[in-house]
Structure 1
């Protein structure tokens, strides 16, 4: 059967001497694997379609629910600039791997696709990559069913000025309930306000937000803790991103 879908390449791997297998995140069919014959050959007309972060239209044949075979395709947005910049490539790779490891094969949902598309567009447009990625992490947690709650205490519902956040319990704790998790992270009012905003915001609505370095540090620590605690993923791209951060001036 011939399928025609819009998708984003979130993984690309060599297969045999001249072929590649790409993994697409699509709006209508979830995550799909597609074999691209001859993609590694110099004169291949499909080579560009196999590049990471490429957003395009893909037509492929597939029997049942197995691996598809590409018939034709057209690039809508190559996101070439993301592959040219080492730091942006690292952030974009992390976003794609995080989605790939979280989204199950054939799991349908336009939310995954639209948020990844907005994430890559935000990085391409020059928005602060850390802010973009932390908001994307929030959307991934929500889509996976582990969305944190920051507006009020997750234990009693009370609202106070406590900045305690528990990745293990799933959100904010008031002073009276702080004892439920002695390991809860203490955040500044600015970080807590931003996380509360992220909880409600669609990535497609993100503007250019200026965030202090200290706040970014807190955001990174708390979102890292939520990802580790709730999803338990080991991502190669995150390790590389951490190495780059050490050398960033």
Structure 2
């Protein structure tokens, strides 16, 4: 059967001497594996379609588990995400996270648009740490592991202060914090960002200015959350952790909140 879909290339691997197998995230058919014959050859007609991060229109035949590309056209190459170190590092992490965390039948149109918005934001030069943290919340939600942030997961209390517990499922109030001695005491700015990211459509993400201490807390909270609930060993994250000096943070006790920082989204201050 012949299929025609829009798709984002979230994985591209060599197959045989001159071919590649790409994994597409599509808004209509979830994740799809497609063989692109001759993609590794210098004069390949469709070699550029097999590049990671490419957004294109793909036509392929499929009778078994894999399709075979029939024709295609690039809509957006996202070439910016293949230049330098920072852009490719964050974009590769978002792509691999999507591929590994989401089953084929869980990938839906909403996640496709969130990943595309993530790639657009990275290509536009928005703060990659903030963009990727927001996308991590989207993936966690799509995988069925969204944290509870507006009330205590144990008693339902809605008044803070709270601590963030990856094992308990989100916020723990002062009366229930004993349930997780490793729960994180986060700046109020970080709580606001977590709540904004949970509800935000990334297509509406504006420029956000966040101080480094808040970024580190946000990173640690989401790293712990994803390690506890998704438990993925991602090659791209190993590099990203070195890039963000996460190893130094692991042994660092989170400090008490400093004066609030300003952070803005497309929807206004948070």
What is the TM-score normalised by the length of structure 2?
Answer: 0.88
Aligned to 1:94: 93
Runs of 4+ in structure 1 deviating by more than 3 angstroms, as ranges, are: none
2:33 aligned with 1:33: yes
1:76 aligned residue: 75
Alignment of 1:49-128 (within 5 A): 49-64=49-64, 66-128=65-127
SS of 1:59's equivalent in the other structure is strand
List alignment gaps of at least 5 residues for structure 1. none
Residues 163 and 189 in structure 1, CA contact (< 8 A), matched pair in contact too: no
Q: Distance in 1 between matches of 2:209 and 2:117?
A: 18
Corresponding residue for residue 190 of structure 1: 189
Deviation at 1:106, TM superposition (A): 4.3
Q: Distance in 2 between matches of 1:183 and 1:190?
A: 20
Would the aligned equivalents of 2:102 and 2:142 in 1 still touch at CA under 8 Å? no
d(CA) in 1 for partners of 2:36, 2:105? 19
What is the alpha-carbon distance in structure 1 between the residues aligned to residue 127 and residue 111 of structure 2? Answer: 21
Give the Å deviation of 1:244.
2.2
* Whole-angstrom distance in 2 between the partners of 1:7 and 1:110: 10
Counting matched residue pairs gives 246
Indicate the residue corresponding to 1:226 in structure 2.
225
- What is the rounded CA distance, in whole Å, between the counterparts of 1:108 and 1:39 in structure 2? 26
2:132 corresponds in structure 1 to 133
- Using the TM superposition, give the Cα deviation of residue 127 of structure 1 relative to its aligned residue in structure 2, in angstroms: 1.0
Aligned-pair CA distance for 1:108: 4.5
RMSD: 1.3
Partner of 2:16: 16
In the alignment, the residues of structure 1 paired with residue 184 and residue 207 of structure 2 have an alpha-carbon distance, to the nearest angstrom, of: 27
TM-score with structure 1 setting the length:
0.96
Q: What's the CA shift string for 1:2-40, capped at 9, x where partnerless? A: 000000000001111111100000110011100000111
Change (3 A) 1:222 1:108: closer
How far apart in 2 are the matches of 1:234 and 1:26? Answer: 24
Q: Which residue of 2 aligns with 1:45?
A: 45
Please say if residues 163 and 188 of structure 1, whose CA atoms lie closer than 8 Å, have aligned partners that are also in contact: no
